[in-house]
Structure 1
């Protein structure tokens, strides 16, 4: 055998194996690029979603490299409990918390909707222990709607809640889960249909509906002056022996604990001071966020209206100086108005979060929210504000165009804290 024949016979199998290996590697590469089950893509992420990286970093201040699909997949896995816009990607597509069509979060979610569904997002922030002893209760009244076609029928004006069940659902879900409240008293002022006829996401055993019959009112609603204070007083006196604290809120007001306390521990910190009979929390007024129409499908206010007005350091002050009140029931005597108490037993007083005394007319300046805050979704979209103008207040009168212009004309800033809440 010649040397040339020996060389060929010795190295031909090696060359054949190398050739086959190259074929296998090429097939694997093609599979990795095109197979839908592989999260990694060779194309840069910017080719699919130019604004995605900036959105992730702005929302979560995420410092890792998220320039390819593999990092996006890793990011979603690590931060599913924080991601506030992907409930319908990882959960049932018919989720009760859809995003408004055309919003940045909705388009962002659609960009990565191809990824495999996983478990539901964890609650965010972590939920406090439930107040099973019902140490705290909430009393609320609804926003009412006048049915114009019935005004001329013997001056009988049925009071109808329009879109009220949606607002009430968010209110109950927020305070039940994120503040541990296990008792809600809801005054149903002759509404049609009754608020109690709706199924809410919280247990029905936590809800007590106090129904009032539909009555005749004069066209100017002058007979309704003071009606909300009457309902609040009824809650405080009727259930005085069943709870230690009671908060008096409206359905468009959502509480946030901004410090390191829960609502229960915060209120308990005042119980050793016999001179404190009530604690007031400052409003933080949300604007329409530039929306003219109500999002469709309906979406939580927390997710949509994320612009707030700033506090004024000097007069003229704005609505952020207004407060709502949590009352220690064994000290309660009467309300001054819907915002604060008037008289209390044993000379007790109402204070702010730092122990500063609050007196009528129930405003607190400077406004502070270092321990807690009350987000007031007052205007919502222009469409909903027009409904509110017709609907009127529970005590008569209605929202004015001047008030809209005053709120919307304020300098606005992003207030996204509640937008991150799940559920």
Structure 2
């Protein structure tokens, strides 16, 4: 027992302690190295790409409380700059009319989207260049130089804006409203509703007993305009209540027609359409000019062949007129011709291509809102050829659209 104790006492405890500490440090280093080699580096998960939502069929969502615009993939979803009850209307020109709101919103220059909605569709073209200030008719112009004749049926709500626009901005002082059996007669519209002096309007109710059949009624009406009133004027424009003339250059309408009159061979001016869409509106806006701010394309690559805008309407030189060939063009006296705005001869039955509007345009609000289009289908027209759903689909869905806000610049 004593020998064991003696042996223990003889041990070098300092050396043993040092060796133990060194061994533990070595062990810890080796263990830590091994642990690191077994633990994988942390991997940051990649950002998930946004997943495309499957297309679903749903009813269009209403975007506004009062304007009735809908989310439609076929139109440019930009806010209408001036539409609504809180803004000015051309109807404000009516005497003693109470305005519904404050000053109108400013309408800035609109730029078209650079990309089309589908690569399979033809390119969406930029709007035509418009003058910064619309050409306004001079008060000194001959009031009888040019007149407008129109066949109208049950369009009491449409007439005031048409009359106001052409009276104030085209200088028209003679309107011949050929009433195609409206009920009540359009002549019963109160003066305060018309928006222009009543003495500038001649109402003529058409006799239903002598009403033409098929496609002849509108042509008969146009012929009666020339026979009954043509002698009072040098030029007469034959338009519908949804067609608005615009001088796109620096001339007034009288200036332009006076220039054309110098060429004795010119018997008629054919003006290209600029057809507006519904702009997604479901109900009638307060103003067509301020509400419908999208148009169909001109098909410039195809020289206008695939666009309704190739159609023209005529401003006829009365002394050269024989009879209307159709609602678009007139048969003229021998040696006379119908020309476009650049003096180019129009030889087709109703079309002018390529489409240009450098000097004058005819804005055609063909469908307007869905509410108004349904009224139009019920009403029919003087050609006994009412538009149907196929026309609506072509204008609203099939043809590319482009922004066209130039008519919003006019007030009243």
Question: What interval of TM-score do these two structures reach, taking the shorter chain for normalisation?
Answer: 0.5 to 0.7
The equivalent residue for 2:72 is none
Paired residues in the alignment total 292
- Preserved CA contact (<8 Å) 1:132 1:182: no
The reply to whether residue 186 of structure 1 matches residue 177 of structure 2 is yes
Name the CA distance, whole Å, in 2 between partners of 1:126 and 1:326: 18
1:28-107 to 2 correspondences below 5 Å: 86-87=87-88, 95=97, 98=100
The reply to whether residue 226 of structure 1 matches residue 216 of structure 2 is yes
Q: Specify which of 266, 277, 281 is matched with residue 291 of structure 1.
A: 281
C-alpha deviation, 1:105, in angstroms:
5.1
1:6-405 to 2 correspondences below 5 Å: 86-87=87-88, 95=97, 98=100, 125=134, 127-130=136-139, 131-142=141-152, 144=153, 161=154, 164-198=155-189, 199=191, 200-215=194-209, 223-295=213-285, 299-313=286-300, 314=302, 316-342=305-331, 344-405=332-393
TM-score (norm 2): 0.66
Q: Which runs of 5+ in 2 are unaligned?
A: 1-79, 107-132
Per the alignment, do residues 329 and 216 of structure 1 end up closer, same or farther by CA in structure 2, a change over 3 Å counting?
Answer: closer
Name the CA distance, whole Å, in 2 between partners of 1:234 and 1:216: 12
| Bigger Rg, which one | 2
C-alpha deviation, 1:353, in angstroms:
0.5
The equivalent residue for 2:118 is none
- Which stretch has the larger CA shift, 389-398 or 304-313? 389-398
Q: Which runs of 5+ in 1 are unaligned?
A: 1-57, 60-83, 107-123, 145-160
Name the CA distance, whole Å, in 2 between partners of 1:414 and 1:312: 15
C-alpha deviation, 1:237, in angstroms:
2.3
Superimposed CA distance per residue, residues 106-149 of structure 1 (whole angstroms, 9 cap, x where no aligned partner) = 9xxxxxxxxxxxxxxxxx7473213444110110011x4xxxxx
Per the alignment, do residues 395 and 126 of structure 1 end up closer, same or farther by CA in structure 2, a change over 3 Å counting?
Answer: closer
Per the alignment, do residues 271 and 366 of structure 1 end up closer, same or farther by CA in structure 2, a change over 3 Å counting?
Answer: same
- The alignment yields a C-alpha RMSD, in angstroms, of 2.7
Per the alignment, do residues 98 and 282 of structure 1 end up closer, same or farther by CA in structure 2, a change over 3 Å counting?
Answer: farther
Which structure carries more helix by proportion?
A: 1
Higher relative contact order (CA 8 A, sep 6+): 2
Superimposed CA distance per residue, residues 168-213 of structure 1 (whole angstroms, 9 cap, x where no aligned partner) = 1111100000011110111012211110111211111111111123
- Preserved CA contact (<8 Å) 1:125 1:422: no
